[in-house]
Amino acid sequence: GQQVMQIPQYQHVQEGEDFTTYCNSSTTLSNIQWYKQRPGGHPVFLIQLVKSGEVKKQKRLTFQFGEAKKNSSLHITATQTTDVGTYFCAGSGFLHAGGTSYGKLTFGQGTILTVHP
């Protein structure tokens, strides 16, 4: 089945340093989504990438989708303490129920980011 690998597992940075997490899929993805989970909280959707080579930005966050649609990255510029949490990528595949295909997200293991002030 589809596997999504995410590295690194942990990242400790000083406030103001940059941070990058990488996501690799064993199969070509139709799209990839990124989620953030604050400590003790639940995952919250950040963004979705659909097109090959797509790059999207949200303030200090830059998301990229590889040309082959098998890898993705999230880069945070000048981290802040509010960036603390676990960042998950999730690649989409399909579930089958009642003769119809439905979306399924396969989550990476996540990268736990800690930011030291």
Partner 1 sequence: SQTIHQWPATLVQPVGSPLSLECTVEGTSNPNLYWYRQAAGRGLQLLFYSVGIGQISSEVPQNLSASRPQDRQFILSSKKLLLSDSGFYLCAWTRTGMSSYNEQFFGPGTRLTVL
Which residues contact partner 1 (rule: CB under 8 A)? Answer: 6, 30-31, 33, 35, 41-45, 48, 50, 88, 90, 92-95, 97-98, 100-110, 112
Q: Which residue has the tokens 């953030």?
A: 36
Closer CB to partner 1, 54 or 77, in the complex:
54
Closer CB to partner 1, 73 or 77, in the complex:
73
Closer CB to partner 1, 70 or 77, in the complex:
70
- Least distance from partner 1 to the Cβ atom of residue 84, Å: 14
- Least distance from partner 1 to the Cβ atom of residue 103, Å: 3
| Contacts with 21 (C-beta within 8 Å, 6 or more apart), sequence order | 6, 7, 8, 11, 73, 74, 87, 89, 111, 113
Cβ atoms of 46 and 34 closer than 8 Å:
yes
User: Starting from the edge strand earliest in sequence, which strands make up the sheet with 71-76, in order?
Assistant: 4-7, 19-25, 71-76, 61-65, 55-58
- Least distance from partner 1 to the Cβ atom of residue 3, Å: 11
Among candidates 79, 85, 108, which has minimal Cα distance to 36?
85
Closer CB to partner 1, 49 or 115, in the complex:
49
- Least distance from partner 1 to the Cβ atom of residue 53, Å: 18
